[in-house]
A and B are shown apart, each in its own frame.
Chain A
Amino acid sequence: MERNEYPVLQIHDLSVRFRAFALEDISLDVFRGDYLALLGVSGAGKTVLLEALAGLVRPAKGRILLNGSEITRDKVQSRGIGLVYQDLSLFPHLSVWKNIAYPLKNKGLSSKQSKSRVEELAGQVEIRHLLDRYPGTLSGGEAQRVALARTLASDPQVLLLDEPLSNLDVKLKGELRGVLRKIHRSGKTMIHVTHDFMEAATLATKVAVVENGRLVQHGTPEEVFRHPRNEFVARFSGIKNLFPCKVVSYASDEGLHEAIINDHVSIRYLGKDGHKSGYVMIPQEDIVVSEKPIESSATNRLEGVIREAYLSGSGMELVVESGVPFVVAVSRQSHENMKLQPGKRVWLNFKAAAVRFMDS
């Protein structure tokens, strides 16, 4: 896969106002070969951002550059940015073949060139058997592939996808994720709008989070999900042990601080001075469950009672009440060996370094 540090798409201070949506001061660089997931709740303005990039909505201010050239006010049809709408917008009166060939005619390809390109694209998204069908007869997954092939036919420099997996069942989602990865591996720079953090985490090489029309954080999925910059990002990225707290004491020589949750649960963490309140976050995989307090390097030891135990993915999740409810991940084997059933008293152990503090 072609990948370098040259931004193919640069967005500078972009503000867009469209009906009920407003985006303010969005700045973002997308590098060649990036797969950027644009995350945000519904109504955050993600689709409007895509339409602004595609030139379908005019920005109130700011600049968009493609390969270093400004395209902010360029015509939609000559921008080189392809958009697959959430509703796909396949042309209902044209066959699948003609839908895919539609952009090729704009490029002035001969019918022979057009034919081989349509077949190539159909092969790439595995829809060769559907070419004579009409959009009205396709399933959701099939239609999504046709829409992808059609937009790829326009050979965009950047491929924008608006919630491409939202209307599909689990099996089809898995299949389509494979298709999207394949397209990405072929070297396409992609921006994928979603409200689903798992979708972003499993596909993207970069993540940008939009909240109330503003870009609140962007970086690699690892950076964003492990170091969320605010409560919204943390909650959005599925982090469960996130608690508001007061900071009561400082031990500045070690950088160790004490945070009090709900006025009675004390958590020690490593962080900077100068905060009086904020949020602490403890990744569930960093919490060790034991039946007795254990001697270890873990600074935080809390006693609690298991309230719930349920299957989660390949393991189990426990909800342990220890003044506040902690969610902890354990393997099924540990769950069986330690008989981690509701009502059982356990100890939660985690290092001060595992606790992340966020300023409120």
Chain B
Amino acid sequence: MLNNWKVSLVFLFVSGLVLLFIVAPLAGMFLQTTGAQYAATVSDEEVMRSIRLTLVSSLVGVIIFGILAIPLAYVLARRKFPGKGLVNGLVDLPVVIPHSAAGIALLGVISRNTWIGQAGEAAGIPFVGGMAGIVVAMAFVSIPYLINAARDGFEAVPEKLEKAALNLGASPWRVFFTISLPLAKRHVLTGLTMMWARGLSEFGAVVIIAYHPMVTPVLIWERFASFGLAYARPAAAVFVIICLVVFVLMRLLSGKPPASRHTEG
């Protein structure tokens, strides 16, 4: 660590500015919302229904796609194969493309003109304008967080422990569920939390696939566009508070978070 006091002072000042940059707008939003506005928003059924839909859709996405993504993360951590770099790059694609573009791309796969879209309609789970579409959009943009964190977790598990377990007579399945997964648990839980949190905040991809039913980011946007800042702010503040509470709880449950690969979505 640099111990020159001038350098320390500059670093401290710059760090303070960055933290202020993160905290000040949020603090402003909370402080500018009055108690009466909070009370009114919490009792506004449209807002609360939207928040429930958002929390649940993201959670469903995490459960369905998370289960599928963990084996991929394990393969990326353990196997060597031609084109592995390309696959790692593909995993990061949803993070680097504009999310409205992601929504358009997804629509091309799940719209009513495609067989997937038609199969969904036939099964009573329409994608476009339905919760299933919201789940897909949220999972699409957030799945890299889980895959990357879980891959880091599996990479950190010494391969020798898996070999030792095999040598002790365990089947590869038992080795995965009793050694690899429990030892990568903290990374995997962090990845699941990050995926869920990222899914909650998704606007661009969701709005293209399902404007209705309205997830909270869309509801906030609609209130802002139709009625202005003062009307949108209480819904935004309540949503952020609920997300923060859940997020902090999940982080506490999953222990100390490992360093995440991505800081931007």
Interface residues of A (CB under 8 A from B): 51, 54-56, 76-78, 81-83, 85, 87, 89, 91-93, 102-103, 106-107, 150-151, 153-154
What are 28 of the A-B contact pairs (CB < 8 Å)? Answer: A51-B163, A54-B167, A56-B167, A76-B166, A76-B167, A77-B167, A77-B169, A78-B169, A81-B167, A82-B167, A83-B164, A85-B160, A87-B160, A89-B160, A89-B161, A91-B179, A92-B183, A93-B182, A93-B183, A102-B165, A102-B170, A103-B170, A106-B168, A106-B174, A107-B169, A154-B167, A154-B168, A154-B169
A residues less than 8 Å from B171 (CB atoms): 77, 106
A102 touches B182 (CB 8 A): no
Alpha-carbon gap, A93 to B181, bound state (A): 11
Which residues B168-188 have CB closer than 8 A to chain A?
A: 168-171, 174, 178-179, 182-183
B124 within 8 A of A: no
Alpha-carbon gap, A51 to B170, bound state (A): 17
Alpha-carbon gap, A216 to B167, bound state (A): 28
A residues less than 8 Å from B183 (CB atoms): 92-93
Known: A82-B167, A83-B167. A89 touches B174 (CB 8 A): no
A151 touches B169 (CB 8 A): no
Inter-chain pairs besides A102-B170, A106-B170, A151-B167, 14 sampled, C-beta below 8 Å: A55-B167, A56-B166, A76-B163, A76-B167, A77-B168, A77-B169, A82-B168, A85-B160, A89-B163, A91-B164, A92-B183, A103-B168, A106-B169, A154-B168
Alpha-carbon gap, A236 to B153, bound state (A): 43
Closest to A80 in B: B169
**Interface 1/0 per residue, B130-168 and A, CB below 8 Å:** 000000000000000000000000000010110111111
B residues less than 8 Å from A150 (CB atoms): 168
Alpha-carbon gap, A102 to B167, bound state (A): 11
Interface residues of B (CB under 8 A from A): 158, 160-161, 163-171, 174, 178-179, 182-183
Closest to A54 in B: B167
Q: Which of B158, B161, B163, B174 contacts A56 (CB 8 A)?
A: B163
Interface SS of A by simple majority: mixed
Residue from B166, B171, B174 with most neighbouring chain A CB atoms (10 Å):
B166
B residues less than 8 Å from A51 (CB atoms): 163
Nearest 10 interchain pairs by C-beta: A106-B169, A89-B164, A103-B168, A76-B166, A89-B160, A77-B169, A154-B168, A83-B167, A56-B163, A103-B169
B residues less than 8 Å from A107 (CB atoms): 169
Alpha-carbon gap, A153 to B169, bound state (A): 10
A residues less than 8 Å from B170 (CB atoms): 77, 102-103, 106
Alpha-carbon gap, A177 to B166, bound state (A): 27
Alpha-carbon gap, A128 to B166, bound state (A): 25
Alpha-carbon gap, A103 to B164, bound state (A): 10
Closest to A102 in B: B168
A residues less than 8 Å from B167 (CB atoms): 54-56, 76-77, 81-83, 151, 154
Alpha-carbon gap, A103 to B171, bound state (A): 11
Give chain A nearest CB distance to B164 CB in angstroms. 4
A residues less than 8 Å from B169 (CB atoms): 77-78, 103, 106-107, 154
B residues less than 8 Å from A76 (CB atoms): 163, 166-167
Give chain A nearest CB distance to B159 CB in angstroms. 10
A91 touches B163 (CB 8 A): no
Alpha-carbon gap, A150 to B164, bound state (A): 10
B residues less than 8 Å from A87 (CB atoms): 160
Give chain A nearest CB distance to B140 CB in angstroms. 33
A residues less than 8 Å from B164 (CB atoms): 83, 85, 89, 91
Alpha-carbon gap, A341 to B178, bound state (A): 65
Give chain A nearest CB distance to B185 CB in angstroms. 8
Give chain A nearest CB distance to B253 CB in angstroms. 17
B166 touches A91 (CB 8 A): no
Give chain B nearest CB distance to A148 CB in angstroms. 13
B161 touches A91 (CB 8 A): yes
Alpha-carbon gap, A106 to B172, bound state (A): 11
Alpha-carbon gap, A51 to B160, bound state (A): 11
Give chain A nearest CB distance to B156 CB in angstroms. 12
Closest to B160 in A: A89
Alpha-carbon gap, A153 to B168, bound state (A): 8
A residues less than 8 Å from B182 (CB atoms): 93
B residues less than 8 Å from A82 (CB atoms): 167-168
Give chain B nearest CB distance to A43 CB in angstroms. 18
Alpha-carbon gap, A82 to B165, bound state (A): 10
Closest to B172 in A: A77
Alpha-carbon gap, A150 to B169, bound state (A): 11
Residue from B165, B168, B174, B178 with most neighbouring chain A CB atoms (10 Å):
B168
Alpha-carbon gap, A56 to B183, bound state (A): 21
Alpha-carbon gap, A56 to B158, bound state (A): 14
Closest to A155 in B: B169
A residues less than 8 Å from B160 (CB atoms): 85, 87, 89
Alpha-carbon gap, A82 to B169, bound state (A): 9
Alpha-carbon gap, A91 to B164, bound state (A): 9
Give chain B nearest CB distance to A45 CB in angstroms. 17
Give chain A nearest CB distance to B179 CB in angstroms. 6
